[in-house]
């Protein structure tokens, strides 16, 4: 099986985490797994998995974003298309990766029984079934939701136009999803949004929740750090609600000894960096990035409270990771979060600073309530979210796609 992923950050971003864990469990089931990925490349947990690199020009490298490649770096017309797209304000990677993946698969069609697209949804994917290869596609949630929230948060005509141009690839993803056939998604909420925003046939969409790596995310014997609140969220993305969390912590910090750790790297002098200064949070907030899985597991298990303050989530692996760590969870009542969390966490209105501050205060003050919520979260994870089960169910979808044949 070929797993396609245009970018595969292993420690943050749902696509990279999904790829890493699914590939490991598929290999553990005895399947031959080959990952085709652009930069950043994934970390793979099983030496039996083959990584085939399909390099882009890496125009969004963390250390040199929007870089200008040298003439000698251009290899073909796809590279030219990638730079032209970027220079005109667009995001080319889903399209250009799909074209590179199609080219790779065209020469290797006999090597694979099935292709699994990890939310690339580029025009090149439409031609994969024509190679005689059955295709299964994962859509964790439609990026149209991110687009809508980012545009609503834009300030001024120039920023509004820039966001619309950047998210131009969403129209392509919608067109592809309507024609691509079998789609896997992570929640009923995401299915509803895929049908509404992308116009996909609901009969093509199958719900398969994600799992959590309980080797990493589990309770520790070490005591939790008093007053520590932890969130795993992209700091500068409005959809992740970090600004709501920081404002709530600023209110709580005037009367309680609390601090927040956000697993993310905010842009220097960006919106989050400015908000921290505006709220005078100082040592009450810390951002961490580039940490290992074990360090992340220890951080989550050492918190008194975990928070997912998002304005929308199609699933939310961090929510499940907090619960698996035995950390009482506060999450927004939006998207798939009520479906994922159930009654095993405390749900609040997304974007409501006062309600979030009130719930954090209540949990901070009550060890008994923290213990009750934590225990409910642990039980829910054990009953519903395990990667081996996710992989086994995914294989059944592969078999159905193979039996049906390319569409």
* Half-sphere exposure for 321 (CA within 13 Å, toward CB): 29
CATH of the domain spanning 228-384, picked from 1.10.645.10, 3.40.50.2000, 3.20.20.60, 1.20.120.330: 3.40.50.2000
pLDDT of residue 65: 87
Residues in CB range of 4: below 8 A, 6 or more apart: 36, 37, 97, 98, 101, 115, 116, 117, 118, 120, 125
Tell me, yes or no, if the two domains 2-211+387-404 and 228-384 fold the same way: yes
Provide the token pair at 358: 């009130």
- 93-106 and 77-87 are packed helices; what angle lies between their axes, rounded to 10 degrees? 170
CA–CA dist 195, 36 (Å, integer): 28
pLDDT of residue 153: 87
Q: Give the Cβ contact number of residue 393 at 10 Å.
A: 14
CATH of the domain spanning 2-211+387-404, picked from 3.40.640.10, 2.60.40.1120, 3.40.50.2000, 3.40.50.720: 3.40.50.2000
pLDDT of residue 12: 58
Give the residue among 247, 207, 250, 181 at the shortest CA–CA distance from 404: 181
Mean pLDDT for each 10-residue chunk of the chain (407 residues)? 91 78 96 96 94 96 89 96 96 97 97 97 97 97 91 91 95 97 94 96 95 93 96 92 97 96 93 95 94 94 98 93 98 96 97 98 98 97 89 96 89
Domain ranges of the chain: 2-211+387-404, 228-384
SS3 of residue 308 by DSSP: strand
- Is 321 in contact with 214 (CB distance < 8 Å)? no
pLDDT of residue 383: 85
Label each residue of 355-397 as H, E or C. Answer: HHHHHHHHHHHCHHHHHHHHHHHHHHHHHHCCHHHHHHHHHHH
Beta bridge partners of 329: 306
Q: Vertex 98, ends 13 and 190: CA angle to 5°?
A: 45
pLDDT of residue 9: 79
pLDDT of residue 177: 97
């Amino acid at each position: 099986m070929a797993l396609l992923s245009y970018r595969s950050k292993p420690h943050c971003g749902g696509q990279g985490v999904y790829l890493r864990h699914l590939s490991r469990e598929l290999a553990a089931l005895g399947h031959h797994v080959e990952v085709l990925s652009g930069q950043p490349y994934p970390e793979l947990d099983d030496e039996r998995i083959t990584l085939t690199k399909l390099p882009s020009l890496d125009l969004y490298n963390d250390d040199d974003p929007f870089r200008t490649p040298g003439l000698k770096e251009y290899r073909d017309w796809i590279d030219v298309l990638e730079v032209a797209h970027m220079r005109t304000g667009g995001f080319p990677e889903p399209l250009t990766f799909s074209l590179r993946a199609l080219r790779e698969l065209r020469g290797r069609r006999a090597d694979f029984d099935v292709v699994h697209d990890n939310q690339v949804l580029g025009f090149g994917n439409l031609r994969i079934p024509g190679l005689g290869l059955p295709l299964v596609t994962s859509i964790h949630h439609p990026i149209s939701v991110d687009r809508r929230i980012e545009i609503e948060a834009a300030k001024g005509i120039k920023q509004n136009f820039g966001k619309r141009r950047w998210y131009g690839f969403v129209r392509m993803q919608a067109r592809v999803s309507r024609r691509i056939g079998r789609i896997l998604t992570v929640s009923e909420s995401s299915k509803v949004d895929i049908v509404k925003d992308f116009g996909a046939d609901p009969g093509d969409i199958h719900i398969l929740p994600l799992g959590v790596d309980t080797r990493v995310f589990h309770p520790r014997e070490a005591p939790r750090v008093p007053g520590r609140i932890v969130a795993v969220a992209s700091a500068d993305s409005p959809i992740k609600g970090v600004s709501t969390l920081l404002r709530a912590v600023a209110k709580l910090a005037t009367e309680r000894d609390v601090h927040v750790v956000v697993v993310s790297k905010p842009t220097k002098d960006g919106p989050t960096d400015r908000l921290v200064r505006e709220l005078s949070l100082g040592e009450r907030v810390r951002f961490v990035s580039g940490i290992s899985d074990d360090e992340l597991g220890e951080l989550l298990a050492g918190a008194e409270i975990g928070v997912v303050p998002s304005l929308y989530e199609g699933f939310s692996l961090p929510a499940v990771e907090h619960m698996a760590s035995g950390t009482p969870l506060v999450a927004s009542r939006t998207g798939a979060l009520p479906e994922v969390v159930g009654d095993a966490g405390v749900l609040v209105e997304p974007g409501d600073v006062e309600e979030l501050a009130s719930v954090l205060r209540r949990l901070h003050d009550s060890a008994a309530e923290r213990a009750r919520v934590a225990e409910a979260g642990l039980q829910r994870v054990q009953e519903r979210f395990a990667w081996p089960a996710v992989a086994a169910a995914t294989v059944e979808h592969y078999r159905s796609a193979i039996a049906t044949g390319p569409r």
